[in-house]
Structure 1
Amino acid sequence: LNRGFRQLERIVSARQAAIRTKLPRRESERRTHPLSRHCEVLSAIETRLSLLKMSIMRYADEGHCCFFAGKVLDEIGSVCRSVQSTNGLSIRPYKLLHEMRDISSMAVEHFEDVLLPMIRRRISSG
């Protein structure tokens, strides 16, 4: 799962960079461009990945735990595939991202409430 997280980070970053190169430079033109919703969704995914990285992966990188939220990775992958397979006008960012936000929030809460105290106890005793 650690490797899957890193791979998903690279995929999202590459797709976002590819879409941004196709968008116009002017903000007013960007908002009405067909790919603007793609970029909006990928930015939201990037934000979620950053949140997961700051809360969970920092401990995983130090070897204290592994990334455990495989369902989050599955959902993010599903959203990425949905974005890639649709034209920009048919994407509804809120609807598409709702489940991903819920699942990732639950994963972070579980980590902070249950797993992190155990990790901290293990670090302080060891």
Structure 2
Amino acid sequence: MVSTRQMTIGNNGTNDCSEQNSTENGPAKSTRNSTAAASSSHQGQCSKCNMNAPSKPNFLDLPQEIIEKIFSYLTYKNICQLRFVCTRIDRICGHILNSTFQRLQHQLLDRFHEIKRKMPRRESARRNHHLACESDIIETLHMRLTLLQMSLGKHIERKHCCFFPGEILDEVLHILHYIKVTPKLARPYKVTDELFDLSTMAMEYFKEKIEPDLPEIAYFSTDFLEFSGSFPYEC
């Protein structure tokens, strides 16, 4: 049989162990609690810092005028390639290509009329005129752009597509610069040979690859029936 003293010692021993464990676990538990509180406080401060920190600048947040100014330092061939970046860049690049295509058409037409006014009316006198070579070059440029307008223009006006062959715009500008800085021009066919090939390939590519997937245009749609006045019945 176990004596009362032994039971007391056993009980005291058990109490001592429980007190010792509570003493040992107390500081560790307190340390974990303080660490968790510090971590929670740090996360709260970080989230507050992130909320107050300025957002990173984004190129697409710039106004369209500034983006167009930046793109003006690129070739039109590169601008065509940038259309695949995203929807907004595609819309901006399409606007640049379309507006440049229209501007060059008007510029060439005005220059052609200006040259014609300076040249004599007689055909024999025109051949030896100093503006004869430039006149033929400008006329060829305007004719090629007019053919492109006839192929792509109706779809560009309805926003089915944009003017996609940017290399043609680069070539036209290159020829205009050549005319401006060259005192004695070469034969017109030598100057416009590259443009002739590029425009022909562009029209063939559009006809075969792009136009079949575009919406069909009715020749007698309401767009063509909005007359400004009435036609007389008399011939």
Same fold per superposition (TM over 0.5): yes
**Aligned partner letter, 2:201:** M
Match of 2:129 in 1: 33
Match of 2:202 in 1: 107
Task: Flag structure 2 segments of 5+ consecutive residues without an equivalent.
Answer: 1-96, 219-235
Structure 1 residue 115: deviation in Å? 0.3
- 5 Å-filtered alignment, 1:1-126, equals 1-87=97-183, 89-120=184-215
Q: 2-side partners of 1:27 and 1:97: how far apart?
A: 22
The C-alpha deviation readout for 1:1-21, integer Å capped at 9, x for no partner, is 000101111111121122111
Q: 2-side partners of 1:117 and 1:90: how far apart?
A: 41
Q: 2-side partners of 1:91 and 1:16: how far apart?
A: 18
Q: 1-side partners of 2:187 and 2:134: how far apart?
A: 10
Structure 1 residue 78: deviation in Å? 1.0
Q: 1-side partners of 2:192 and 2:113: how far apart?
A: 20
Alignment check: 8 A CA contact 1:76 1:100 kept? yes
**Aligned partner letter, 2:190:** K
Q: Report the 3-state secondary structure (helix = DSSP H, G, I; strand = E; otherwise coil) of the residue aligned with 1:83.
A: helix
Structure 1 residue 42: deviation in Å? 0.8
Number of matched pairs: 122
Where in structure 1 do 4 or more consecutive aligned residues deviate above 2 Å?
84-87
Q: 2-side partners of 1:41 and 1:55: how far apart?
A: 22
Q: 1-side partners of 2:176 and 2:146: how far apart?
A: 16
**Aligned partner letter, 1:100:** L
Task: Flag structure 1 segments of 5+ consecutive residues without an equivalent.
Answer: none
Alignment check: 8 A CA contact 1:5 1:73 kept? yes
Q: 2-side partners of 1:55 and 1:76: how far apart?
A: 18
Return the structure number with greater helix share: 1
Alignment check: 8 A CA contact 2:116 2:135 kept? yes
Percentage of pairs with the same residue: 37
Structure 1 residue 90: deviation in Å? 3.0
Q: Report the 3-state secondary structure (helix = DSSP H, G, I; strand = E; otherwise coil) of the residue aligned with 1:90.
A: coil
C-alpha RMSD over aligned residues: 1.7
Q: TM-score under structure 2 normalisation?
A: 0.49
Q: TM-score under structure 1 normalisation?
A: 0.89
